[in-house]
Amino acid sequence: MAESRLRISKLDGVTQVEFVDRNILDEANIQAIADEISRVVEATPEPKLLLNFANVDHLSSAALGALITINSKVKERRGSLRLANIDPQIYEVFLITRLNKLFEIHETAEDALESFA
Amino acid sequence: MSSPCADNPGTDPDAVHVGVPYDRDRIDELEERLLEAVERAGYEKASRFAIKLAFEEALMNAFSHGHEGLGDDVEVEVEYRVRPDEVFIAVQDQGPGFTPHEVPDPTLDENLAKPTGRGLMLIRAYMSEVTHNAAGNRVEMRYRRPAD
């Protein structure tokens, strides 16, 4: 198996995923990341998932697509997904695409963690 | 193609015309070269973000859609010219082309949860001007330097 591009931790029932790469652009890489997150989602009955973008400088539309697919999987399992620590330039991409309406986005990981309570 | 290959981009680092296969290292190398030229020309971080985003999306559209079913070795043709007032980028694939106005608006409520179809609208959002050839397999993008 290829080396993971994610750091996954669990705190108070919330699975936090941090991205190792600054650029999430390449489709093969995105697919590997999506598959790994999907395995986490599918291993939990009502997953509480926090995706922390603190290290990320660039996201492609293919990465946005993977986030949408993950969101659908989380909802199918009656779980909840939060995004946090999104760089202002990337957040603008969420605004332009109106994906800020689809995702619950928090400024910090702490805010996102509290929102699960 | 008579233009220089990616290993020999010519003498002007600010005006490049190359073919690139679907090879992430080669794409990264070309993108880095473009962004170095953009930085040398004095464009700010926000401009470099916009140019990188549009370049990535155009290339990925070319490989994923234009070259669907073709091998990774089939090259996409990339041209760019970096000038102090404007950055021009053209990406041309060897596929059958598409009809840009038939791409659904991904920001409509009914399309928000669809995982694909945002590349072109992001290019249009970040570039000053975007045009396609009649065949629909070449996109030309211009980014004009914002006023100070």
Burial class of B145 by CB neighbour count within 10 A (0 to 12, 13 to 18, 19+): middle
Give the closest-approach CA distance of A31 to chain B in angstroms. Answer: 13
Percent of chain A at pLDDT > 90 equals 85
CA distance B79 to B10: 12
**Taking Cα atoms as reference points, which of B143, B146, B109 lies closest to residue B124?**
B143
Q: How confident is the model at residue B2 (pLDDT cuts 50, 70, 90)?
A: very low
Helices (H), B43-144: 45-61, 119-126
CB-based contact A65 B113, cutoff 8 Å:
no
Q: Measured between beta carbons, which residues in chain B are less than 8 angstroms from residue A72?
A: 113
Q: What is residue B4's predicted lDDT score, i.e. its pLDDT?
A: 46
* CA B86 to each of CA B89, B138, B141: distance values in angstroms, whole numbers, following the listed order: 10, 19, 10
Taking residues B52-73, report their average pLDDT: 94
Q: For residue A100, what pLDDT is reported?
A: 97
Judge contact between A90 and A59, C-beta under 8 A. Answer: yes
Among the listed residues B23, B44, B21, B48, the one whose alpha carbon sits nearest the alpha carbon of residue B34? B48
pLDDT for B6 beyond 70: no
C-alpha to C-alpha distances, B31 to A88, B2, B78, nearest whole angstrom: 22, 21, 10
Kindly tell me if the per-residue pLDDT of A110 is higher than 70.
Answer: yes
Q: Which of residues 87-116 of A touch B (CB under 8 A)?
A: 89, 93, 96-99, 101-102
Q: Which residues have CB under 8 Å from B87's CB, separation 6+?
A: B38, B41, B43, B51, B80, B81, B142, B143
Tell me what the pLDDT averaged over chain A comes to.
94
Q: Which of A38, A54, A49, A42 is nearest to A15 (CA)?
A: A49
Q: pLDDT tens digit string along B26-53?
A: 999 999 999 999 999 999 999 999 999 9
> Binning pLDDT at 50, 70 and 90, where does residue A73 land?
very high
pLDDT confidence band for B1 (50 / 70 / 90): very low
pLDDT for the residue numbered A3: 76
For residue B69, pLDDT beyond 80: yes
Q: Per DSSP, what are the bridge partners of residue A38?
A: none
Question: How much is the pLDDT for A116?
Answer: 93
Q: What is the reported pLDDT for B13?
A: 83
Cite the beta strand spans of chain B per DSSP E. 15-20, 76-82, 86-92, 129-132, 138-144
- pLDDT over 90 at B10, yes or no: no
Asked if the Cβ–Cβ distance from A61 to B119 is below 8 Å, we say yes
Across the interface, whether the CB atoms of A98 and B112 are under 8 A apart is answered yes
Measure A99 CA to nearest chain B CA, in Å.
Answer: 7
pLDDT at A24 over 70: yes
Distance, in Å, from the CA atom of B108 to the CA atom of A72, rounded to the nearest integer, reads 18
Q: Which residues in chain A have Cβ-Cβ distances shorter than 8 Å to B46?
A: 89
pTM to 2 decimal places? 0.92
* 8 Å CB contact of B112 and A65: no
Instruction: Provide the residue type at B96 as one letter.
Output: P
pLDDT value at residue A12: 87
Asked if pLDDT for residue A1 goes beyond 60, the answer is no
CA distance A58 to chain B (A): 8
pLDDT for A46 beyond 50: yes
Sign of the alpha-carbon torsion through A81, A87, A90, A91:
positive
pLDDT attached to residue B3: 46
pLDDT given for residue A4 in this prediction: 82
Give the 3-state secondary structure of residue B77.
Answer: strand
Q: pLDDT value at position B53?
A: 98
Contact residues on chain A for B49, CB-CB shorter than 8 A = 58, 89
pLDDT band with cut points at 50, 70 and 90 for residue B114: very high
Confidence (pLDDT) at A2: 64
| Secondary structure (3-state) at A58 | strand
